[in-house]
Amino acid sequence: MTPTPEPGSAATALAGLTALQLIAGYERGDFSPLDATRAVLERIEAVQPAVNAFVRVDAEGALAQAGDATERRRRGEPLGPLDGVPVTVKDLLLQAGVPTLRGSRTVRADAAAWDEDAPAVARLRESGAVLVARTTTPEFGWKGVTDSPLTGVTRNPYDVSRTPGGSSGGSAVAVALGAAPLSVGTDGGGSVRIPASFCGVFGLKPTYGRIPLYPASPFGTLAHAGPITRDAADAALLLDVLSGPDWRDWSQLPPGPAIADTLGAGASGAEGVKGVRIAYSPSLGGQVAVAPEVAAAVRTAVGHLAELGAYVEETDPDLAEPVEAFHTLWFTGAARLTRHLDSEQRKLLDPGLREICAEGERRSALDYLAAMDVRMDLGRRMGRFHSSYDLLVTPTLPITAFEAGVEVPAGSGLRRWTGWTPFTYPFNLTQQPAASVPCGVDGNGLPIGVQLVGARHQDALVLRAAHAMYVSGAAAIPAPSPAPPPAA
């Protein structure tokens, strides 16, 4: 009979395990999916008052799913590689049986049947994953922090007065605090990597089309789905599942070979990056003012990669400041998203979202096509860059987490979230795989992330290099408080 952990320390220990550790424990009979799910639900109950990371928690449904998975594991007949593993999903992706309100008071719970899974959620169900909870998002995922008119402010697990980043902030907080080891987020301009950096977890934006999306994002082909996990090995496992084919996304890439079993890296991590050509750009050629502690941590991480056998050269890609092109694509997408709302409904929107919608409405079709020209040229230049370098390494963000509940840091003089995310959104324009790996903390104990960017379709290389950092210890940072105090 599988032992059931007592409330408290045993459950906390279970909630702190990675997905791969849980699976190994299931296979040994040390504990069951039901035990792990109970532990995760206990963690959610403990941390939610402080961090506000969850839109809704389906304890009854999760326990039923976990009970079924426990029986399948007992029989040695798992549905798939994630059978019995607790997972959370950002409240932008459809999940049958629950409304997807997307952080907005303009979306009514009774407006649809809510009887369809997004591709990522469908693949999770097919694999036997336990769908525990829905995580918070800013309204329609429009910005790089996580607060919304519907659910309020989500907070950083390392300091609840600060933002976790966004727009997949709830997912990153959930993973950081042991409220399920895996979460599925979305990334249209950094929305997986930003909160991963601010919350000290791993986040991957895979090559566009690697994970199918449906319905199509209003932000078009800027938008990716991606895993948020505790390490790169778990992300590879989750990516392999989420990459399963789905006919509803006509732009999906053909399924590629499984990545999880090919990470290698050995005991030291050297196998993962030996001989890899790395371009290290600390500030995009001086275009970005990077906080000294962030710069130092990232430089140390790059040094670790060199020690593991990578060839590192300090050089800069030719990005040519594409922010206006990104804004045109982003703002027009927001305008199209909200075009059906009447004047009273628009009053319910996040004020910042209303502003960018108005800006988007003023842009013409010619403006949009000009932005696409910039995008295609940027993609061409990055393709040429990667003919000389396998990976580009930058800070994920130039700063650490700032005050919660605001779009930009106080006193920064910035107007929009893209002003403090210059390392992330360019690679949504180019559709390249990019990951944030935790590489240290600043003087306030706030996490710092280093970004690994690969050429299109080189998801396996990005994951292999990130895995090498975890195996070698270069990615280790202190864990946040198990139950952070509520915000004052």
From 32, 127, 167, 436, the catalytic residue: 167
Distance CA 282, CA 302 (A): 10
User: Is 127 considered catalytic here?
Assistant: no
Cα dist. 233→229, 236, 462, 485 in Å? Answer: 9, 5, 11, 31
Residue among 115, 130, 163 at smallest CA distance from 23: 130
Contacts of the segment 10-15: beta carbons below 8 A, 24+ positions apart: 10/39, 11/38, 11/39, 11/42, 11/43, 12/39, 12/42, 12/43, 12/178, 12/482, 14/39, 14/40, 15/39, 15/40, 15/42, 15/43, 15/178, 15/179
Render 1-34 in DSSP notation, one character per residue: -PPPPPTTHHHHHHHTS-HHHHHHHHHHTSS-HH
Distance CA 133, CA 147 (A): 18
From 127, 148, 183, 191, the catalytic residue: 191
Distance CA 330, CA 325 (A): 9
User: Is 167 considered catalytic here?
Assistant: yes
User: Is 364 considered catalytic here?
Assistant: no
Taking 3-state DSSP, the helix, strand and coil percentages for the chain, each rounded to the nearest 5, stand at 40, 15, 45
| Residues that are catalytic | 90, 167, 191
